[in-house]
Amino acid sequence: MDKLKSVLSGEEARRDDRTVLETVNEASTLGWGTRVKGFIACFVVGAGFTVLGVGMLWIPRIGLTIFIVFYTLGNICALGSTMFLMGPMKQLKRMCDKTRALATAIMITCLVLTLCAAFWWKNFGLALLFCILQVLAFAWYSLSYIPFMREAILKLFAVCMK
């Protein structure tokens, strides 16, 4: 019945004019409700990884390593959750926008360096420093989505430093 409706309304003819890329894009796009659910699920998983990592911090010998892994995975999931809201390509374009490029580069570099410091260099003090830098870079990156918030923060620090 739906096929008959689409033929009679002329929708079928419009569908034949689409390219393969348009057809694939239409089939793979998510509805708004699904995007919000994906965002919430991915963000909750990221927050869960972060909380789990903090909880594991107190385990002797391996606690710091587990914390670093879970904390980094939590940040990656939190960053990935926003891709559900605006789509991966749009998110990547916004991450590389001139207002966010530096914060994005520092954040991704700190994610990688945190894992390198923990597993390759075995320097946990440096790994914790990179974790702190992850927080600061992720916060600075997130603040760029709120109009004039970065300028307000900079003015607040300028007033506090006087």
**What residue numbers bound the domain in which 130 lies?**
31-161
In the predicted model, what is the mean pLDDT of the chain? 84
Structure token digits, residue 80: 């990935």
Overall domain count for the chain: 1
Q: What pTM does this model have?
A: 0.71
Residue 11, in any domain of the structure: no
Region 136-149 average pLDDT = 88
Region 109-132 average pLDDT = 91
pLDDT bin (cut points 50, 70, 90) of residue 7 is very low
Residue 6, in any domain of the structure: no
